[in-house]
A and B are shown apart, each in its own frame.
Chain A
Amino acid sequence: MPSFAEIMSVYGLEFGLGALAMLLIVVDLITGRGRLTGPADVVRLLALGGVSGLLIYSFMFLHASGEVHAFGQLDAFALYFKRFFLATTLFTLLLTAPYEARFSGGRAEFPVLVLLTAMGMCMLSSVGDFVSLFVGLELVTISLFLLTAWRPGLPRSIEAGIKFVIIGAVAAAFLVYGIAFVYGATGALDFAGVSAAIQSMATMPAGLKFGLLLVLVGLGFKLGAVPFHIWIPDVYQGAPTPVTAFLSVGSKAAGVVLLMRLVYTVLGPAAAEWAGVLGGLAAITLLMGNLGAITQTDLKRFLGYSGIAHAGFLLLALAAHSEASASSILFYMVTYLFANMAAFLVIIVVSRTSDDSHMDRVNGLAERSPFLAFVLLVSMLSLAGVPPFAGFVAKFMILRAAMEAALHNPALYWIVGLSLVMVVVSLYYYLCVLKRVYFREPEDKGVLEISGSTKAILLLCVIATIGLAIFFNPLVESANAGAQSLMGALPQGH
């Protein structure tokens, strides 16, 4: 039986996040009597302080350990993703501040659900069995359903919520059904047991393959891989913008972290068989994501399709299946975080007056606010993967790892070729947005006021995006450590 101290050594951060969420509910209850605006600020500030505290704590006092417990582990990989999720949560809360006025209610409860989602995400990076995996994933998904529908007065938000619930429930059903087949074939639910069973088999029985395929479907839904991407455009458009940002970075990373854990440690050597499936998914995801983005006229839908395209890159790296490709995924996620958060914050600012995210909102942004225009320039070019920005380094790392892997698996050359074509396509549509920013006439000529805190957040994103392109070594090193712990520490039976 695991002792409390053992569990806390792995899930300490999650405990902190859960406790913080409970504290916020109590604070809201005590301070909120009869007042509407006061408690929300208090609660949000507390949440911000708490999450920053946990993030600092995770950097200063938490260390990766090679110990694998039955209930989970805190290896370098898990720690990397926990910090990533905490940073994502912090950004989401920061993005909420300029948006909050549009909520009709539930301002104080919003951070509570964000924290609980974050708790689920952090938990997912440590899980060691399919039961925890499912519970963690549901904690993330169900909180996000609610956050998506957080503006009941807005039909778009409700529609997005309903679509998300239905498709999410179907995906969860696939996942559970798949887990049942995996259990039926291997007799184990913990990753170590499943992995040991797989390695003892000469060939995988069809039932096991079917089960793993269904698990892949369930996770592909989170990741936004192509046949399971149907929900993305509508949900991204309808959800409140901070939630969209949270979805696009956090929810995608939750899919990534689980897929990596399953492909690298559970499948282990057997993963070579799955390179074809992952490669095929990567190819159609790249194709559909990039082609779909071209015709979009709504900024949030546009970023949704661009996110699908990025999922294609991540799948390509997964198909390559080497330590270098694992490390490149970890690096990629961080560059994606900064570029995406900056873009969504710009959307929040420009949609302040008309509350929609049509692309016309950024027309002539360069005249109204040169700073915002510059931020959007950096973010779009980084997402496109243009040299002086971090996105370039990330894409370069993935392609280099894929080319190395292609020496053993020539089919990858085709996908790398396709992805290069798609980079050019993506450059076209990112530049289309920038054309609007710099060369179109603005609809509303008024100067956009930006608050100091918004400016600071945007500046941080820009500095990180440029800085990571030059001083990428520290992050690459910690990504390498994460990848190493993922590849090296094949779970021992217990």
Chain B
Amino acid sequence: MESLFFYLFGGLAVVTTLLTLSSKNPVYSAIWMILSFSATAGLFVLLDAFLIATVEVLVYAGAIMVLFLFVIMMINLRTSEAERLRLSPLAILAALTFLVLFGRAVSDPGPMLGKAPNDLVGDPDVIANLMFTEYVVPFEALSLLLTAAVVGCVVLSRKKVKA
């Protein structure tokens, strides 16, 4: 039963992501992307990572995608001019190399495969504890990263100041 859902959500994620890439209309792209995020959230549920699944739906599929749609509508993006994808031989070679290496990596992923995830992994308690003990340094650094992003965005989007 679980594997049925895994293939359902996994397949859905792959298909919707491909549709995101191939849609000519940016609004359709954005909507496919919402579906893709939801399918990924389903995968997280199957892994018992409920908090991450919730965050995926609330933050990504909810907040971020709404923002995306707003921007698309505000700058009034039209269906993109049918720009043909140009494939250079080098790009194809790189992609094929990546695929071959990826295939080998997946066929021999190492000893940890198949070990059950920690039962508590989806518990907000555990995540919160880790965040404020073991990972407190990167957590604090992240807050400064966001500050940097906000300061930069304010400067770059400000109307030109008359000197």
Contact = CB atoms under 8 A, between A and B. Distances in A.
Interface of A: 1-2, 7, 11, 14, 18, 21-22, 25, 36, 70-72, 104-106, 109, 112-113, 116-117, 119-120, 123, 131-132, 134-136, 138-139, 142-143, 145-147, 149-150, 152-153, 181, 184-187, 201, 205-211, 213
**By CB atoms of chain A within 10 A, which of B147, B148, B156 has the most?**
B148
B129 to A, nearest CB: 9
B147 A116 contact: yes
B110 A105 contact: no
Interface in B136-160: 136-138, 141-142, 144-145, 147-149, 151-156, 158, 160
Given A138-B145, A184-B113, A210-B104, 15 more contacts: A14-B141, A70-B134, A104-B160, A116-B148, A131-B135, A134-B138, A145-B152, A146-B153, A184-B109, A187-B111, A206-B104, A206-B109, A208-B110, A209-B105, A210-B101
Given A104-B160, A143-B148, A206-B105, A185 B141 contact: no
A2 B110 contact: no
A146 B153 CA distance: 8
Contact of A207 (B105, B149, B154): B105
B137 A7 contact: yes
B119 interface: no
Nearest to B113: A184
Contacts of A207: 105-106, 108-110
A205 B111 contact: yes
B141 A71 contact: no
A120 B152 CA distance: 16
B128 interface: no
A36 B106 contact: no
B141 A120 contact: yes
Interface centre among B109, B133, B136, B144 (most CB of A within 10 A): B144
B11 to A, nearest CB: 20
Contacts of A11: 137
Contacts of B115: 187
B116 interface: no
Closest 9 CB pairs of A and B: A185-B110, A146-B152, A210-B105, A106-B155, A207-B109, A205-B110, A206-B108, A135-B138, A116-B148
Contacts of B134: 1-2, 70-71
B138 A181 contact: no
A201 B109 CA distance: 13
A25 to B, nearest CB: 7
Contacts of A184: 109-110, 112-113
A299 B63 CA distance: 44
A70 B115 CA distance: 24
B112 A139 contact: no
Nearest to B147: A116
B102 interface: yes
A150 B155 contact: yes
Contacts of A25: 151
19 contacts: A71-B135, A109-B155, A132-B138, A135-B138, A135-B145, A136-B141, A138-B145, A139-B148, A142-B152, A146-B148, A146-B153, A152-B156, A152-B160, A184-B113, A205-B108, A205-B109, A206-B107, A207-B110, A208-B110
Contacts of B87: none
A386 B115 CA distance: 57
B126 interface: no
Contacts of B156: 106, 146, 149-150, 152
A14 to B, nearest CB: 8
Contacts of A18: 144
A210 B102 contact: yes
A138 B79 CA distance: 33
Interface in B40-95: none
B161 interface: yes
Given A181-B105, A208-B110, A139 B155 contact: no
Given A139-B141, A153-B160, A205-B108, A7 B151 contact: no
A35 to B, nearest CB: 11
A335 to B, nearest CB: 30
A159 to B, nearest CB: 14
Given A113-B151, A184-B112, A187-B112, A135 B104 contact: no
B159 to A, nearest CB: 9
A207 B142 CA distance: 29
